[in-house]
Amino acid sequence: TLARRSLLAGAALPLFAIRTRPARAADFTLKLANNIPATHPMTIRQQEAANRIKAATNGAVEIQVFPNNQLGGDTDTLAQLREGAVDLFTLSGLILATLVPPASINGVGFAFKDYDTVWKAMDGKLGAYVRGQISKRGLIAMDKMWDNGFRQITSSTHPIRTPADLKGFKIRVPVSPLWTSMFTALGASPISINFAEVYSALQTKIAEGQENPLTLIEIARLYEVQKYVSLTSHMWDGFWMLANRRSFSRLPADAQAILTREMNKSALDERADIAKLNGTVTNDLKSKGLEFVEADKPAFRQALKSAGFYAEWKKKYGDQAWGILESEVGPLS
């Protein structure tokens, strides 16, 4: 043990030499969970926010980042967030809708035509409306959403070009009523599976396909177990930075302000990262063997209309929420 101790002391010396103040335990340690890989820009920017928050609070607030569902699948982590076992969690609004139904509204099929429309709405009236609804259920949602992206359909069996190609197609969707409803309306056979199990569900052919943004298809290596990708952009999906209200309230007011400021800043950084990746991801995925398929987008939208999808969800969200959505994106039905 003596040799070991002196070895450790030796190794530690240079570190102590450059420390400006003695190490101390943080006054507040918060757990932040997400569901995407450690190499995704969202995780990287969250870690950067954690570092800045620690520095700006002189070490008082330490945020531990747990990417990739390390603390559990989304459904489970949402339960932990509500109990306070997890303090912060970035979750898709569509999955959050299992607790806060209006939070799925940005996922209505073909609602957004481009990113300018997305950020104007989510940083504006539609986002404010959803955050108000989230707050009613005891969670805090920070102002700036994090980008996941426009979602595209992948398949291991056959290319999906028209709604007819989706007939009976076993497609994995996240655990969320809107997703199930949409793919049922399109004639597919959706299976709800948390992201933590998606790769193996595709590998074992429990699901023939799935849908996700190109950047995540690449970063989570889904191209290894899928053959085709169809550019449907059937919905835009993003993550809310959610906080357990009790965990957040325990922080002093200045620490709360620092945490909020730095998380919102990192969300904007992450949006820019994804925008940049969107410029190169198509070629990267092609070079990895994924076959790109032109999808008949108007036919998919028409199939949703004919199935009564828009009428049904307008009724579910109510006139106020639907009115806000249409004021941002134009008439939907």
Tell me which residues touch ligand X2X (CB under 6 A): 35-36, 92, 95, 148, 174, 195, 212, 216, 237
> Is the CB of 224 or the CB of 254 nearer to ligand X2X?
224
Q: Indicate the Cα dihedral angle 218, 152, 69, 271, nearest 10°.
A: 80
Residue 255 tokens, joined? 């620490």
Question: How many whole angstroms separate alpha carbon 126 and alpha carbon 106?
Answer: 8
In the complex, minimum distance from the CB of residue 10 to ligand X2X, in angstroms, rounded to a whole number: 44
Please, which contacts does 72-80 make with residues 24 or more away whose CB atoms are closer than 8 Å? 72/33, 72/196, 73/35, 73/194, 73/195, 73/196, 73/197, 74/35, 74/174, 74/175, 74/194, 74/195, 74/196, 75/175, 75/194, 77/33, 77/35, 80/33
> Is the CB of 202 or the CB of 216 nearer to ligand X2X?
216
In the complex, minimum distance from the CB of residue 217 to ligand X2X, in angstroms, rounded to a whole number: 10
212 close to 222: Cβ distance less than 8 angstroms = yes
In the complex, minimum distance from the CB of residue 38 to ligand X2X, in angstroms, rounded to a whole number: 14
In the complex, minimum distance from the CB of residue 64 to ligand X2X, in angstroms, rounded to a whole number: 20
In the complex, minimum distance from the CB of residue 177 to ligand X2X, in angstroms, rounded to a whole number: 13
> Is the CB of 236 or the CB of 322 nearer to ligand X2X?
236
Residues with Cβ within 8 Å of residue 283, at least 6 apart in sequence: none
- DSSP 8-state code for residue 39: T
In the complex, minimum distance from the CB of residue 33 to ligand X2X, in angstroms, rounded to a whole number: 12
> Is the CB of 35 or the CB of 226 nearer to ligand X2X?
35
In the complex, minimum distance from the CB of residue 195 to ligand X2X, in angstroms, rounded to a whole number: 3
Q: What are phi and psi of 99, to 5 degrees?
A: -105, -40
Residues with Cβ within 8 Å of residue 153, at least 6 apart in sequence: 160, 171, 209, 210, 211, 229, 230, 232, 234, 295
> Is the CB of 127 or the CB of 149 nearer to ligand X2X?
149
> Is the CB of 63 or the CB of 216 nearer to ligand X2X?
216
> Is the CB of 149 or the CB of 163 nearer to ligand X2X?
149
Query: What's the distance, CA 5 to chain centroid?
Result: 45
Question: How many whole angstroms separate alpha carbon 268 and alpha carbon 42?
Answer: 10
